[in-house]
Amino acid sequence: MQLFDPRNKDGVAYTDGAYMPVGQASIPLLDRGFVRSDATYDVAHVWKGSFFRLDDHIERFFASMHALRMTLPHSHEEIAAILIECVRLSGLRDAYVQMTCTRGVPPPGSRDPRECCNRFYAFATPFVWIANETQRRQGLSMVLSSVTRIPPESLDPRIKNFHWLDLTMGIFEAYDRQATVALLHDGHGNVTEGAGFNVFVVKNGVLASPVRGVFEGMTRRTVSELCVLLNIPCEWRLVTVLEVMNADEIFLTSTAGGVMPVCVLDGRPVGTGKPGPITSLLMAEYWRRQEQGWLGTPVTNYPINATENGTWSS
């Protein structure tokens, strides 16, 4: 059986047909993915040695590529195999795994995106959390940002992309206001999303999540499915700023953290100021079902000297 390569302890990347330590991976400086943010990507995660919803993430990745007129010489199954191999070689049991398609490098002097050869990159690194352990237990502090989200008329947010400057300015605003995360609005009195997360509000036992101007997150989809299984009413619709301000509970959903409670909004407590009962139930069910193998794709044949927490032993 293969021995673990300690150079892979921080993660493994795949580029130009080869696997390598993530710190050695690079992209061409003239790739339009870098100079024009002309790229799409998707992020899956591995928990306790098993991918969650791997096929769904890859299917969404292909849909984003199609929308941006991109193609790759890899099938769904080949991309799955590459992602699994990145995780296997890294030895990580809990991992953040990204697949990216960039427009590529244009011929000298050309501005025509049709003349580029699209490029594929992938990497697996240790799992990334939006909220740390204390924040997941006690709740996040969030602000309603003054920043307007890029409207869907300009760019369909269902296409996962690198256009994050509006979201990044929201992050700075949150920090300036002694909070951790910011929720952006649509300019018409409705909320949208934040940097890497969707939002849910709970009022009188009914959940609601914004339906317009948002990326349709995989964890958001999972929560909707859990609500069906648990007989919790859940609506996807426009959600107003006023509804968020008057919510009994608020929580965020993201691949980078699952279900995460928000207990302070604009400096004031949400509900009791502690994670609410519906939020707590969904948090517990989300992780419990994953650990039981729900919608999972196991990673097998890890290197023999990779330890359970993803580090390595000599």
Tell me what pLDDT residue 305 has. 74
Of 309 and 31, more confident: 31
Domain ranges of the chain: 6-128, 133-291
The pLDDT of residue 68 is above 70: yes
The pTM (predicted TM-score) of the whole model is 0.94
What band does 314 get if pLDDT is binned at 50, 70 and 90? very low
- Mean pLDDT for the stretch of residues 102-115: 96
Between CA 210 and CA 213 the distance in angstroms is 8
- What is the C-alpha end-to-end distance of the chain, expressed in Å? 15
Between CA 254 and CA 131 the distance in angstroms is 10
Beta bridge partners of 185: 148, 191
In order, the DSSP letters of 127-145 are ---SS-HHHHHH-EEEEEE
Tokens 């003239």 label which residue?
A: 30
DSSP conformational letter for 202: E
Between CA 95 and CA 72 the distance in angstroms is 24
Counting residues of the chain whose pLDDT is more than 70, the rounded percentage is 97
User: Nearest 5°: CA angle at 69, between 199 and 19?
Assistant: 80
- Mean pLDDT for the stretch of residues 226-251: 98
What CATH superfamily classification does 133-291 receive? D-amino Acid Aminotransferase, subunit A, domain 2 (3.20.10.10)
Tell me what pLDDT residue 230 has. 97
Query: Closest by alpha carbon to 248, among 270, 269, 266, 264?
Result: 270
What band does 307 get if pLDDT is binned at 50, 70 and 90? low
DSSP conformational letter for 95: E
Query: Closest by alpha carbon to 282, among 246, 245, 249?
Result: 249
1 is written with which tokens?
């059986």
- Which architecture characterizes domain 6-128 according to CATH? 2-Layer Sandwich (3.30)
